[in-house]
């Protein structure tokens, strides 16, 4: 297959695997942006115009209501379901036109997480009805003094009459200026201790809801707000105690997955703009794309973008087949958040290097993308937070494979029920994975897959023959470096699985793995250089440093060059 078919192109997009109504809604969303055009998109970005017109469109089409309400909820819009495969597409489409439009979708996902996990039928019905009328949601978790550290929440509910009053502030809350569904995390006052955790619902239009400011200079409204003796009835309580804590963690499990597809959309639009510009730019008597270093940068950025796409697409399948005894998605989710969003930054850095001054002009999408991409690895937890989570799965993944059934592609329409019945947010060390080695062995004829396999063997040998000490395990700096290498093992694994499903050529896979080989070598040097690294560990890491196998880039470059002029947003 031509690898360029993996890229979203608004002019040709018609996903046959999705149902007719979904295709119609996606087409309407694309047409809304294309009709407004690039000039309006860039002007609103630079003037920091709030996206009310987009929210009006969302309300008119019941877009969030249909995509973000589980099937069968009383009061819901007709045809509503929570389907990860189509939600991923919507995330990508919105990211393609800018994270300012992806963002209200993303924070609505988070705000609804505690609601759809709740056993409160009244709260669920009210949320479904509000969405059906075009309202949006917000996730009131983080606070100014300690971010998303839920252990330190200062939001307090105090008993009052038949219910409670809530007092406290929340900070960095997307949609906090307009959401009628605000899921707020806090504690119920307990004179003898910290009190039990609680999630309750609030409404930004209530007089006791004080909107303080937008904390960012952007089209996005990222609110700081306070609740001042805000009345909370039992009917407003979504979760108590450990269930509230788990609801917070499980909501992020669902919500952070959108970041990878937002980044894929953003990078795809930027790539079209960059290759078209460079192909038509003549410097020193040559087109820019004839310069070897520019071609190399385009190939690297394109290979990384394809890797992002393949890993994330395959992760969808594990989300949709998850159940209480198969929670592999938790690892893949953290990697989409950590690795895929970091790759988006790398891709954009490469494209920005190519287009140079063009990337600063006010009428380009590239300028928007370069600015926005920085936020993705820093939302829903930083790279370090997600790496620490990823490391919890390392022993089981690398050394204790389980006999698990193969997971086929999951493209049929359906409601992903388990995402809102994940259960307690613990026991990550007990999650089991299928064996990663067969995927690598079946592709060992591809030169750079073979090289990466050698690097992985050096890494796993280090873990078994020069096992990190307790001091090293307790040192976050050392273990984050180790986690970077482990992440690449998993990343390559799912890329290989999806490449087989998609029928991608060995040549393209070889180019993708060339980037992974280089990343692994860099990561191995990083572990080698750590203060706590032992001599034996350093030997293993030196053995893991490899040069990528040489790959003929003629065929791939021809595919990339053919993207010039394929898509440009309407002016």
> CA-to-CA distance for 31 and 207, rounded, in angstroms?
38
Q: Examine residue 525 and state whether it is found in any structural domain, yes or no.
A: yes
Instruction: Please report, for the domain that includes residue 123, its CATH number.
Output: 1.10.540
State residue 162's pLDDT score: 87
Of 489, 311, 266, which Cα lies nearest the Cα of 395?
A: 489
Q: What are the backbone angles phi and psi of residue 210, rounded to the nearest 5°?
A: -100, 110
Q: Examine residue 569 and state whether it is found in any structural domain, yes or no.
A: no
Q: Examine residue 419 and state whether it is found in any structural domain, yes or no.
A: no
Domain boundary among 120, 135, 150: 135
Could you give the 3-state DSSP secondary structure of residue 140? strand
**Cα of 80 vs its chain's centroid, Å:** 23
- As a three-state string, the secondary structure of 55-112 is HHHHHHHCHHHHHCCCCCCCCCCCCCCCCHHHHHHHHHHHHHHCHHHHHHHHHHHHHH
Neighbours of 79 (CB within 10 A): 16
Residue matched to tokens 């973008």: 305
Same structural domain for residues 150 and 127?
no
User: What global pTM score does this model have?
Assistant: 0.96
> CA-to-CA distance for 128 and 116, rounded, in angstroms?
10
State residue 120's pLDDT score: 97
Q: Give CA angle at 140 (139, 144), nearest 5°.
A: 130
* DSSP per residue, 181-210: EEEEEEEE-BTTBS--EEEEEE-TTSTTEE
Q: Which residues contact 503 (CB under 8 A, 6 or more apart)?
A: 1
CB 125 within 8 A of CB 70: no
Same structural domain for residues 390 and 457?
yes
Q: Examine residue 408 and state whether it is found in any structural domain, yes or no.
A: no
Give Cα separations from 376 to 41, 99, 348, 547 (angstroms): 20, 9, 12, 30
Look up residue 417 and give its DSSP letter.
G
Same structural domain for residues 231 and 349?
no
Same structural domain for residues 194 and 323?
no
> CA-to-CA distance for 336 and 319, rounded, in angstroms?
12
Of 191, 205, 127, which Cα lies nearest the Cα of 156?
A: 191
Task: Give the residue numbers spanning the domain of 53.
Answer: 3-135
Domain boundary among 87, 112, 135: 135
Could you give the 3-state DSSP secondary structure of residue 166? strand
* DSSP per residue, 255-309: HTTHHHHHHHHHHHHHHHHHHHHHHT-EETTEEGGGSHHHHHHHHHHHHHHHHHH
Give Cα separations from 255 to 138, 314, 381 (angstroms): 12, 17, 11
β-bridge partners, 156: 167, 187
State residue 192's pLDDT score: 60
> CA-to-CA distance for 38 and 568, rounded, in angstroms?
9
For strands 282-283 and 222-232, give the pairing: unpaired
Same structural domain for residues 219 and 273?
no
Instruction: Please report, for the domain that includes residue 367, its CATH number.
Output: 1.20.140.10
Structure tokens at 276: 């078209």
Domain boundary among 192, 215, 241: 241
> pLDDT by residue for the chain (571 residues), tens digit each?
789 999 999 999 988 889 999 999 999 999 999 999 999 999 999 999 999 999 999 999 999 999 999 999 999 999 999 999 999 999 999 999 999 999 999 999 999 999 999 999 999 999 999 999 999 999 999 999 888 888 889 999 999 988 999 999 999 999 999 999 999 999 998 766 667 999 999 999 999 999 999 999 999 999 999 999 999 999 999 999 999 999 999 999 899 999 999 999 999 999 999 999 999 998 888 899 999 999 999 999 999 999 999 999 999 999 999 999 999 999 999 999 999 999 999 999 999 999 998 889 999 999 999 999 999 988 767 888 889 999 999 999 999 999 999 999 999 999 999 999 998 878 888 999 999 999 999 999 999 999 999 999 999 999 999 999 999 999 999 999 999 999 999 999 999 999 999 999 999 999 999 999 999 999 999 999 999 999 999 999 999 999 999 999 999 999 999 999 999 999 9
Same structural domain for residues 301 and 202?
no
Same structural domain for residues 192 and 104?
no
Instruction: Please report, for the domain that includes residue 200, its CATH number.
Output: 2.40.110.10
- Number of structural domains (the chain) is 3
Same structural domain for residues 464 and 484?
yes
CB 179 within 8 A of CB 170: no
Q: Examine residue 490 and state whether it is found in any structural domain, yes or no.
A: yes
Same structural domain for residues 373 and 270?
yes
State residue 150's pLDDT score: 81
């Amino acid at each position: 297959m031509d690898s360029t078919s993996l890229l979203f192109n608004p002019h040709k997009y018609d996903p046959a695997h999705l149902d007719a109504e979904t295709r119609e809604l996606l087409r309407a969303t694309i047409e809304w942006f294309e009709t407004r055009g690039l000039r309006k998109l860039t002007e609103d970005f630079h003037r920091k115009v709030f996206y009310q017109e987009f929210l009006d469109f969302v309300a008119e089409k019941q877009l969030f209501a249909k995509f973000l309400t589980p099937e069968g909820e009383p009061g819901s819009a007709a045809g509503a379901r929570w389907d990860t495969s189509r939600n991923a597409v919507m995330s990508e489409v919105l990211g393609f036109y800018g994270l300012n439009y992806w963002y209200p979708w993303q924070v609505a996902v988070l705000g609804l997480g505690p609601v759809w996990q709740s056993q409160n039928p009244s709260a669920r019905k009210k949320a479904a009805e509000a969405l059906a009328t075009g309202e949006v949601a917000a996730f009131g978790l983080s606070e100014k003094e300690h971010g998303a550290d839920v252990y330190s929440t200062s939001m307090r509910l105090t008993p009052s009459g038949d219910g409670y009053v809530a007092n406290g502030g929340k900070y960095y809350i997307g949609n906090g200026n307009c959401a009628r569904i605000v899921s707020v995390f806090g504690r119920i006052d307990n004179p003898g201790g910290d009190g039990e955790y609680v999630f309750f619902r609030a409404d930004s239009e209530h007089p006791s809801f004080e909107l303080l400011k937008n904390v960012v200079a952007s089209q996005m409204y990222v609110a700081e707000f306070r609740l001042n003796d805000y009345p909370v009835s039992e009917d407003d309580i979504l979760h108590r105690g450990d269930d509230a804590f788990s609801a917070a963690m499980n909501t992020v499990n669902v919500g952070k997955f959108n970041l990878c597809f937002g980044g894929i959309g953003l990078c795809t639009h930027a790539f079209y703009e960059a290759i078209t510009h460079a192909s038509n730019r003549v410097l020193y008597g040559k087109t820019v794309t004839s310069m070897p270093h520019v071609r190399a940068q385009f190939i690297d950025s394109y290979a990384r973008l394809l890797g992002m796409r393949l890993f994330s697409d395959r992760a969808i399948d594990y989300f949709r087949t998850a159940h209480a005894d198969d929670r592999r998605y938790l690892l893949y989710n953290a990697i989409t958040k950590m690795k895929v969003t970091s790759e988006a930054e790398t891709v954009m850095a490469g494209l920005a290097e190519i287009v140079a001054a063009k990337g600063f002009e006010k009428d380009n999408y590239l300028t928007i993308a370069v600015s926005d991409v920085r936020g993705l690895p820093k939302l829903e937890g930083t790279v370090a937070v997600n790496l620490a989570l990823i490391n919890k799965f390392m022993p089981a993944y690398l050394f204790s494979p389980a006999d698990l059934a193969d997971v086929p592609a999951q493209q049929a329409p359906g409601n992903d029920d388990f995402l809102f019945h994940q259960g307690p947010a613990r026991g990550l060390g007990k999650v089991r994975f299928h064996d990663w080695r067969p995927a690598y062995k079946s592709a060992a004829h591809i030169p750079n897959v073979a090289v990466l396999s050698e690097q992985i063997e050096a890494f796993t040998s280090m873990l078994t023959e020069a096992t990190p000490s307790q001091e090293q395990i307790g040192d976050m700096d050392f273990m984050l470096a180790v986690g970077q290498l482990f992440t690449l093992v998993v990343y390559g694994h799912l890329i290989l699985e999806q490449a087989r499903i998609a029928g991608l050529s060995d040549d393209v896979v070889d180019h993708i793995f060339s980037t992974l080989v280089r990343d692994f070598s860099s990561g191995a040097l990083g572990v080698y250089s750590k203060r706590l690294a032992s001599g034996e560990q350093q030997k293993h890491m030196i053995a893991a440093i490899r040069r990528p196998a040489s790959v003929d880039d003629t065929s791939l470059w021809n595919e990339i060059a053919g993207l010039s002029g394929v898509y440009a947003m309407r002016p």
